[in-house]
Amino acid sequence: MARPEGGGSREVMNIGKTGQILLADIGGTNARFALSQSELGRGDFDQIGPIDYVKVADFPTVREAISDVLARRSGSEQPHRAVLAVAGPVTNNRCVMTNSPWVIDGNELQPALGLDSVHVLNDFEVVAWSLPALQPADLIPLGGQDGLPGEPLLVVGPGTGFGVSCLVDRHGARLAVVTEAGHATLPAEDEREERVITCLRRRLGHVSIERGALSGSGLQNLYEALAEVDGAQVPQRDAAGITKAALEGSCPVSGATLEMFCAILGSVAGNLAVTFGARGGVYIAGGIAPRFPEFLMASAFRARFEAKGRFQEYLRNIPTRLVIKPDASFVGLKMFADHNVD
């Protein structure tokens, strides 16, 4: 999952139309499409139809890809609106994809496809929208209590980048806040982390949360900096290789890297929880952490999440959960569609 960029927010009311909705999750390489029957206020995954997988390179434009998907479903009721999640920055309902030639412009697609409306959302905003509809089977508990009803829900996601979004529910309206928190400065909690960050600063200049630790490239930077600090000779490894070696126990530096990754994730998640007042719960998503849930549970993640001095009791009551549902984005798309005013 790519990190959100061009931060912002989106507010919707709890009313909407019924009928078929086109849902899409669009990345740089692949795009996924599904039709869903709108039913107000529900994000049930069983209301979402089969998912069509499309290679972006097979179509010059997103319009042609959508037209092809709908043509293959000619026997179905055609959608009257669409909600599209995109792996890139969204400005004025428009996204220029970074790793593909597609430009996703909702205001152009709406008349071209004969739809009542087209909403383009950042993919991490969509994950935030999914949170109220996720079920216990979609989550692994990582400590804390049950969370307070109606309080903000925070999701953080180490993956290709580091995504952060917060879902706020006030006076019947929901607001999904998209941030650039991944570019905030990486904090150190002890002397060893300070030495690692000093090493990273020599290499990177500004050491952000994303580049310094909590992303695929960040995990690799952390590994190389730890090896330098410890004077260890290690082979070059990417994030997947570091994780594999850590879980196998075949490389002490990889193991130390994954331990520090989990500890930093806990500290950053705790910082963001108090920043947003996320007493409804904090969710860990993205493509990295779900690969090692047992390691994460046994790590310093939760202790560091709560380690906020006088606010330790405040953090102790906030639940942390790991999102393991692979198609959570479609639940979020549907939740947005069912609450959106057209």
pLDDT at residue 78, as a whole number: 86
What is the per-residue DSSP string for 250-292?
--HHHHHHHHHHHHHHHHHHHHHHHHHT-TTEEEE-SSSGGG-
Average pLDDT for 8-22:
56
* The total number of residues written for the chain in this structure: 342
pLDDT at residue 342, as a whole number: 58
Q: What is the pLDDT of residues 192-218, one digit of tens each?
A: 999 999 999 999 999 999 999 999 999
- CA separation for the pair 191, 189 (Å, rounded): 7
Q: How confident is the model at residue 6 (pLDDT cuts 50, 70, 90)?
A: very low
Q: What is the pLDDT of residues 234-244, one digit of tens each?
A: 999 999 999 99
Q: What is the pLDDT of residues 138-178, one digit of tens each?
A: 999 999 998 999 999 999 999 988 999 999 998 888 889 98
- CA separation for the pair 330, 195 (Å, rounded): 42
Q: What is the pLDDT of residues 235-286, one digit of tens each?
A: 999 999 999 999 999 999 999 999 999 999 999 999 999 999 999 999 999 9
pLDDT at residue 43, as a whole number: 46
* Other C-beta atoms lying within 10 Å of the C-beta of residue 295: 18
Q: Give the burial string for 191-208 (b: 16+ CB within 10 Å, else e).
A: eebebbbebbeeeeeebb
β-partners of residue 82 are 22, 118
Structural domains in the chain, sorted by start: 8-134+326-339 (3.30.420.40), 181-323 (3.40.367.20)
Q: Comparing 9-23, 244-258, 314-328, which segment has the lowest mean pLDDT?
A: 9-23
Q: What is the pLDDT of residues 66-86, one digit of tens each?
A: 999 999 887 677 899 999 999
pLDDT at residue 327, as a whole number: 86
**Given CA atoms 164, 23, 16, 97 in this order, what sign does their dihedral have?**
positive
Is residue 217 within a helix (H) or strand (E), and if so which, with residue range? helix 216-230
Q: Which amino acid is at 270?
A: G
